[in-house]
Amino acid sequence: MKVGGWDINHENILKIIKSIPYVGAIFIIANFYANSGVLSDRKRIANFKNWVRRVLSGVLFTFVLSLLIVTFSRDGLYNPNSNTAGLDATLVALSIFPSILGFGIGVFVVVFALPNQFIEKINLIKHNGKNKTFGASLMVVDMAYPLMVYAVVLMGEFFLKLFQVGFITHVLSIFLLLYGMLMTFDLISMIFMTAYALLATQASRNPK
């Protein structure tokens, strides 16, 4: 890829980014997620359109929603000086996401133990269907990205606990909570659609 007069080697850039602690792991998974898990693009940086479609649209929507909640419902949010009974988004996130992350990792590990027939059926659905991005690789990355988000949420909420409560910390804590929940809904949807597609394929082969 060329930018101006410079030739950009995607693979080398990804190797450099991957070597950066925390950032590397986050970006590699997010980039593969933006590429819809296409194996042939695993060594390429996703184009801006795919980043917007798969990642940035959800981030922007959640951030705007967080701003609106803090702006119009700030009296209902936790404040150590004026409202100790208010909603503490940081505490909520730190309470629920460790369990979701642990469960998600357990399910993710099970994927590697699935029989080859299951993977073959998933890829067969991709081959015969209209959605060519559907398949085992997409299923894996659609599970890995939410798990990575949960880890980022936990780390982000931990650091927010170190700062004094204010408008910015409220926005960021609610954003992390809501984006984590958005990824939970996406994960549930992915599991449902995969199971439904498998059942539909099985039913079509064995009509009663």
Position 5 confidence tier, pLDDT thresholds 50, 70, 90: very low
**pLDDT of 185 above 70:** yes
**Residue 59 to residues 13, 15, 53, Cα–Cα distance (Å):** 24, 25, 10
Other beta carbons within 10 Å of 70: 21
pLDDT for 3: 46
- The two tokens of residue 64 are 């705007």
- The two tokens of residue 160 are 């927010």
pTM equals 0.85
Bridge partners, residue 2, by sequence: 7
**Residue 207 to residues 122, 195, 199, 201, Cα–Cα distance (Å):** 20, 18, 12, 10
